[in-house]
Amino acid sequence: MGEKVVGFVGLDEVSLELASSLLHSGYAVQAFETSGQLLDDFSKLGGKKCANLNETGQGVSALVILISNVEQIHDLFYGAEGVLKGTAKDVTVIIHSTILPAHIQNLQKILTEDYQMEIVVDMYALKAGSEVSNGKFVVISSGQSESTSRAQPILSAMSEKLIVFEGNIGAGSKSKMVIELLEGIHFVASIEAMSLGVQVGIHPCIIYDIISNAAGNSWVFKNYVPHLLKGNQSAHLLNAFTRNLGIVLDTAKSLVFPLPLLTVAHQQILAGSSHAAKDTEDTALLKVWEMLCGVNIIDAANEEPYNPEELARELSAKSKTVARIGFIGLGAMGFGMATHLVKSNFTVLGFDVYKPTLSRFEKEGGIPGSSPAEVSKDADVLVVMVTNESQAESVLYGDNGAVAALPSGAAIIISSTVSPAFVSQLERRLQSEQKNLKLVDAPVSGGVIKAANGTLTIMASGAEEALEHAGSVISALSEKLYIINGGCGAGSGVKMVNQLLAGVHIASAAEAMAFGARLGLNTRLLFDVIKNSAGTSWMFENRAPHMVENDYTPLSALDIFVKDLGIVSRECSSRRVPLHVSNAAHQLFLSGSASGWGRIDDSAVVKVYETLTGVKVEGKRPALSKESVLSSLPSDWPIDPIQDIIKLTQKNSKTLVVLDDDPTGTQTVHDIDVLTEWCIESLVEQFSKKPKCFFILTNSRSVSSDKATALVTEICSNLSAAAKTVDNAEYTVVLRGDSTLRGHFPEEPDAAVSVTGEVDAWIICPFFLQGGRYTIGDVHYVADSDRLIPAGETEFAKDASFGYKSSNLREWVEEKTGGRIPASSVASISIQLLRKGGPEAVCERLCSLKKGSTCIVNAASDRDMAVFAAGMIQAEMKGKSFLCRTAASFVSARIGIIPKAPLLPSDLGISSYKTGGLIVVGSYVPKTTKQVDELLLQRGHALKRIEVSVDKIAMKSIEEREEEIAKTAETADVYLRSGRDTLVMTSRLLVVGKNASHSLEINGKVSSALVEIVRRITTKPRYILAKGGITSSDLATKALEAKRAKIVGQALAGVPLWQLGPESRHPGVPYIVFPGNVGDNNAVAEVVKSWAHPGRLSTKELLLNADNGGYAVGAFNVYNLEGIQAVVSAAEELRSPAILQIHPSALKQGGVPLVACCISAAKQATVPITVHFDHGSSKQELVEILELGFDSLMVDGSHLSFKENISYTKYISSLAHAQGLLVEAELGRLSGTEDDLTVQDYEAKLTDINQANEFIDATGIDALAVCIGNVHGKYPDSGPNLRLDLLKDLYDLCSKKGVQVVLHGASGLGEDIIKECIKLGVRKFNVNTEVRKAYMESLTSIGKDLVHVMESSKEAMKAVVSEKMLLFGSAGKA
């Protein structure tokens, strides 16, 4: 297949120009056409002639097939000599036609299903209507995403502007129907406007000259009216209109969609065709229209014209000085006009019924008046700028009216839009006042801004004396001033004609956009099509965006056109001029007003259509079902390319240097370094390690565009210098940006290439699976639960600093580059290409891009990303160079990172640290606020919360800011030291600046305050969690002074986990970088819960760990504070678990304070310690014990009969388990003495294995204290005689039932026996006698003071405890 060969089947004038564009773009073009003349013209352009259809399709990459009518389809495609014979299946078929969409869609179905043609799109080419486009071609195309992507290079080469509708084919034909709808309505409205203007007495040429530069202008008016006036347009035009508009109306009828304006226009055109047929089709079109409307336009056009602007210049020279101006009506327009006159050094007295406006006027230097009469007294000129004729009547002749107060000889300027008849009548009434009052009819146009700037368009008429009197005032207010001959009313006549056209054009825009929406067209793209076509108008380009945005903020209220078209309606009736389209438009505005929309923007007339039909014109991309969209995609590429990437990366030897605009970009990698500074020395050190990748944290998203540019330029320059120092180390730069499209684009890529030099292509790839960011069909989506929301419709798109509107990434590129990179020039890698073609297809596509291209990457899975990365590496190895602007997923794919599970504190060895974790929240995206709310809901009981007032730290005095910072830091320090996880969060009310730079300044103040707070916290936290990109960057670099860190993994999918470098304030502390836009509402709570201090383990967990680890835990009887401290100190020193054990006799002496002391010590310990109650032989005593906070207890019923022991133990066991306590019981009975309780040898008995089985099942105990010959206290001189065989049998039984084996009487047992017992399954040894002995012996060496006694006794007991821990094997197991 010829990569640069395009075949044309059929030629016309448009095709010749398209082919010429392709030839100039370097394509070879061949064509077949039955017309010899067209084929010769094609040959002269440099094209190759083909003898038949079949030859045209040979060796081409694309076929452009011209279809003028449906009957051609069979012969062109399916006939014996059809073009498809021998044409490759992967040739791009471009159907160049505007036949009905249904025919085009049917043709596509046959081509793809029956003929297996892979790529089919349609095309409609039109000459751009705007003056700046200079007649260049706009191409409208549609088709499935993969098809339009493949066809895009050829379509772009043929056109000045390419507009692509993705989805069903046929958008070109549909767009043409909408354009023809507008052309038809605008054509009839233009003739109606000329008819009314002539009937009012305005020269047609003057109407044309003024309107073609005013808001009533349209492409049709500007381009048709001159020919009509010259008689150059014949009635043939009506036949074309009749045919085309008939097709549109038939389509609308089939869709059950009303088109009232087009229907009326079509009827008028039919009437014109009927009159023309009676005469001759060569009759001048305007003559036909004169017969319809009864107005002699041709004769009026033949009259000698005059120059209104020249008359205005003459007036300026003759205007008289005005000392004092009265101004009535300080609404939106009036206020701007009046204040401009003040600024122009006129003395202006103003009146308005709305009192606050008078206060504003006074502040601007005007003089407020309390009534029309007051501002008119002694005025040389009075300007009336009220809403309608009724208000004008009231202020002039009502109570305290102006006319009675005006001095003789004064002039009145009526700038309100009123009817010519009202002005003429007013002039007659003023003359009857006998005060020589003069009237100037001077309606204005231009809007609020032009009113304030004195750049309005004014159409003034009146007697010469009146104009000279008021000339300086109307000149001061206008940029364009037209003096209209014909006396008072002529100016309003021109304004009326302008409003007729403006009103019809707004209403027709509504009808067109609503019809387009019903046709299934994307209305944003449709707007772009129409504004470049013959269907455009000034009002369409100004008002249709309001409809697309669904924004009806009243810039000009709908009721204004109820009034203005009402004037048109009255005037046409009184003057006997039929204006069918204008009156139909008036009815639409009346409908809108009746529906309650009169006070919102006039573009809301589109809501009439929306309400009637149910369509939505708003150009918002719909949210989609995530499951449906993802399941509709082709299956992933079957081969995982990660291992190939790893091999290719090793061969490539280039280091990937990721410039991260905030720290969250590290969210998909592990075991990678991140640098927070970029001096050449640091970069040299990093390059010397020959890493496959490292990050540089620029945090550029937190600074202005200029600073970001300077930052990236500096870093790229330093990288270049450092790389040259280290054996010319090779590297590729990636600009890691936000997956929701925020950040400095295109400024940062521009800065990078200014240093690195031009690359073959910019790659745009915001896919990020963990954050739910998908790019499908070139549209970027943000997942929200089970829906995919177009990015442009999310809260991220409304960012005060980096907001945007486009969800389609092609359009986003055009939007962000201000049109420098048109959407039509942006290439893309589709999901279909990734999943069907694999890395080789990606490489081929990238290598085919023109140098300097921009290419977006679609992706919906990590496999897609890996396939693209593999293809890109292949292209790089062929010499191609790329600059990537991507989200985090690309980086891990590009270097072959194999994901690992999220990390927990135990993975980093910090699970036992006792200080609290520090959570700092600075992000303001709504997702963060929801996550914080959920965190407080789930973990509020375990957190200490400190809210920092943004108002105080960003908007108030330095003193208030300092006080807030100091208070927060001190409080947080206290909480962290006490072991409480602490949340420091900014107040959630978002404070937004006056503009983007002011918002960034506020963000900077908030961030710097958080930095200072964390800097002043002296306690080393267990971990730090920073929420938000800017927050996490500033805390790492400024508060914690980290220059580098190791990315060890993720705390949660998409949430990076660093360990801070040795130079930081808290070396090795885990630093969780939590992006503001990642995770569901539970995400932060989930991380905080998993990173919270695990708390005290239960006795059951201690023994289970011991069983799994093959060691035993010592349970040491304690009687006082020294004993407790001895056990805890030994345990912490040896990193051993331990049990503090209280005997009933010790409880009797020490009471609740002894228990509380044990519990407190256990809580404060840095190793697992539990508190156990030993030998509970009294039911009442044990019930009371349950309420004291023990972790476990022993039910001692060994003195009872077997059945009584079961009953007693079962009862206590059920109560204890209800409170989560481990229950230990004894079966058999030990001899010996413990705490003055003695069991004689004849009472002792060994544990019976059969009874043990029944006992465990009946009581549900967790641990069994066995009797195998062990004794309490001292063993006999002959030494212990333990039944180890019985121990083995008992352990086998207990292990099957999940019960741990306990051995009392460990004091006096030899080391070998202890180890053998552990080997045979003993997991808890009770130790009492030896510890008591050490304590008692320590008392014999009397110290100088009681504290010395405490110290020596504690050390003596600690030595014994430590020895036992080492013996039991528990040392080092905490």
Phi, psi of 672 (to 5 degrees): -130, 145
Hey, which residues does 166 pair with through a beta bridge?
A: 143
Amino acid at 1094: P
Can you tell me whether residue 148 is helix, strand or coil? helix
**DSSP state string for 885-900:** EE-HHHHHHHTTPPP-
Answer for the pair 185, 536: CB distance below 8 angstroms, yes or no. no
- Please name the amino acid found at residue 1045: A
CA–CA dist 73, 1125 (Å, integer)? 97
Contacts for 432 with CB less than 8 Å, ≥ 6 apart: none
Among 1081, 1091, 1154, 1155, CA closest to 1120: 1154
Helix axes 171-200, 219-229, angle to 10 degrees: 50
Sign of CA dihedral 261, 266, 269, 274: negative
The Cα 442–Cα 611 span in angstroms is 38
User: Can you name the residues that pair with 697 across neighbouring β-strands?
Assistant: 660
Structural contact between residues 1157 and 1124, judged by C-beta atoms closer than 8 angstroms: yes
> Are the CB atoms for 457 and 478 separated by under 8 Å?
yes
Residues in the chain: 1374
User: Residue 893 in contact with residue 866, Cβ under 8 Å?
Assistant: yes
User: Hunting for tokens 């990590």 — which residue is that?
Assistant: 862
418: left (phi over 0), alpha (psi -120 to 50) or beta: beta
Kindly give the residue spans of alpha helices, DSSP state H, lying in 1274-1345: 1284-1296, 1311-1319, 1329-1338
DSSP-derived pairing of the beta strands 1169-1176 and 1192-1195: parallel
Instruction: Locate 413 and state its tokens.
Output: 């300027």
What 8-state DSSP symbol labels residue 597? I
Find, among 270, 220, 228, 218, the residue nearest to 245 by Cα: 270
- CA 716 – CA 689 distance, rounded (Å): 19
Element (H, E) at 1143: none
Which helix H or strand E contains 673, and what residues bound it? strand 672-675
Give the type of residue at 337: M
- Residue 115's SS3 state is coil
**φ, ψ dihedrals at 123, nearest 5°:** -150, 140
In this structure, are residues 268 and 261 in contact, taking their beta carbons and an 8 Å threshold?
Answer: no
Sign of the Cα torsion 488, 490, 491, 493 reads positive
Say if strands 779-784 and 773-776 run parallel, antiparallel, or are unpaired. antiparallel
Contact (CB, 8 A) for 1011 and 1036:
no
CB 337 within 8 A of CB 451: yes
Sign for the pseudo-dihedral over CA of 17, 18, 24, 29: negative
- Which DSSP helix (H) or strand (E) runs through 934? helix 926-939
Rounded Cα–Cα distance for residues 219 and 233 (Å): 16
Whether 654 is catalytic is no
Closest CA to 120 of 168, 83, 174, 52: 168
CA dihedral (26, 28, 34, 35) positive or negative: positive
- Give per-residue burial for 289-310: e unless 16+ CB within 10 Å, then b: bbebbebebbebbeeeeeebee
User: Looking at 174, 495, 531, 952, which residue is catalytic?
Assistant: 495
Token pair 């194999």: residue: 898
Which of the residues are catalytic?
495
